[in-house]
Amino acid sequence: MEKMMRNVFEFGEQVDGFAVRVLNERAVRAGAGLLFIPAFIAFMHAWLLGNFQPTRVFVVAFLIDFTIRIFINPRYAPSLIVGQWIVRKQQAEYVGAPQKRFAWAIGLVLALAMLYLMVLNNVIGPINLIVCATCLTLLFFEAAFGICIGCKVYNLFSKEAAQFCPGGVCEVAPAKSSGVTLVQLAVVALFFVLVGGIAQSVYRTGSHNVPPVPQAGISTPATPIDPAEAERCKVPEFAKAIGHEEKWKLHNNCR
């Protein structure tokens, strides 16, 4: 019974040839990608539509997932279970578990902050955007590039440097030939110039959404303004200062 409990409440696997406990980086990256998709959708709902409900739901789901990862066992975290299944036919790439635990603790702190601000206290403002953008950045770098930003921060606070990092960056310096040449930089610059020119052409010739013009002789009855609603929708000075007035109205359902 005691052995079974130890197997449940543990962090990482003990694999021969590795001095520390490890995790399968392929499953970790897959899990990060699975979390990034709903996080990005929820963020865009909040930013473009002023609908924060998807963000609140995601914050709770994210918090549950990371609590299981850190305090119980990563193998029972829903995102990593699905991620492991997706990459089940790929050869495992083991990375050190200690730095991952530290990085995920950063994610847990961000989730707790969002739980307090948005879910429990319905706070809406720039701080939410900063926390959400930070979370999205961490997930994106992990999923897209295999770069664990939190793991790099780990080395600043830990007496022992991280071991067994993705791509062997902790043990082996990258080859000089792996850099970017001037020709490649020129290709990238030309690509962005070309896309920018196409975008200008599309926006110049494309149709725009024009609000409907009221028909002559038809007037819309004026709606009485509730003083309490008018006070609630008074745009704060910080939103005006950063040119966020219209977005603030949108986010707070003030039309």
* Domains: count for the chain: 2
pLDDT band at 40 (very low <50, low <70, confident <90, very high): very high
The overall average pLDDT reported for the chain is: 85
Residue bearing the bigger pLDDT, 233 or 216: 233
99 and 166 Cβ atoms separated by less than 8 Å: no
Q: Are residues 147 and 40 in the same domain?
A: yes
Q: Are residues 51 and 141 in the same domain?
A: yes
Print the domain residue range for 250: 228-255
**In whole angstroms, what is the distance from residue 128 CA to residue 151 CA?**
24
pLDDT band at 138 (very low <50, low <70, confident <90, very high): very high
Residue 46 pLDDT > 80, yes or no? yes
Q: Are residues 142 and 57 in the same domain?
A: yes
| Phi, psi torsion values for 163, nearest 5 degrees | -120, 155
Q: How many CB atoms lie within 10 A of CB 173?
A: 7
**Domain endpoint, select from 169, 189, 213:** 169
Is 186 within a domain?
Answer: no
Q: Are residues 235 and 122 in the same domain?
A: no
Q: Are residues 36 and 108 in the same domain?
A: yes
Is 195 within a domain?
Answer: no
- pTM metric for this prediction: 0.75
Residue 212 pLDDT > 60, yes or no? no
Least Cα distance to 244 among 99, 115, 126 occurs for: 126
What letter represents residue 187's amino acid?
V
111 and 63 Cβ atoms separated by less than 8 Å: yes
Residue bearing the bigger pLDDT, 24 or 2: 24
**Domain endpoint, select from 169, 194, 216:** 169
